[in-house]
Amino acid sequence: MILGVIVGGAGVETYHHTASAHLRELFNQKLRCNGLGKKYADLKSSSAGPISSIYVLERVDYSESRNSCVAEITNNVSVLGRPDLETWNVQIVDVGTQEIMTIYPCPKGSDCVSMLNLAKPEFEKIVGQ
C-alpha cells in the first residue's frame, strides 16, 4: 500500500511538472508571436509618394497545429487626394511564413467591423481556441 501511495504521488508530481512546462512554453510562444505580429505590421506598412499602406495588428496568437504565429491584421491602402481609391481589408496571416491565409475585403465606407466579426471564427479555428 505504501508503495502504491509513493508511485501514485510520483505520477501526480510528474503530471503537474509536465503541465507546468507546457504552459510555460505556450506563454513564451505567445510572447514571441506578439513581437512577430507587431514587427510584421510595421515592416509591411509603407508610404511611397502619394500611396500609403498601413497595417494594424488586431490580434495574434500561437497556433500549435501550424507551429507558427497567426495574426489578424487590418490593412488600409490610400492614395493622397483620391478617397475613391481607398481600400480596407482584414487579413489572417501566418507571420512566421508570411502566408496570407484569408483576405476579407471591407465594403466601401465601412469601418471593417463586420469583416473583423466574420474573420474571428476562422482565426480562432486556426489557432485552436
Q: What is the pLDDT of residues 112-121, one digit of tens each?
A: 888 888 899 9
Q: What is the mean pLDDT of the chain?
A: 87
The model carries a pTM of 0.78
pLDDT for residue 44 is more than 60: yes
Mean pLDDT value of segment 85-112: 90
The domain spans of the chain are 2-127
In DSSP terms, 71 is beta-bridged to 60, 93
**Which pLDDT value is given to residue 112?**
84
pLDDT for residue 11 is more than 70: no
pLDDT for residue 37 is more than 90: yes
Which tens digit of pLDDT belongs to each residue from 46-81?
998 899 999 999 999 999 999 999 999 999 999 999
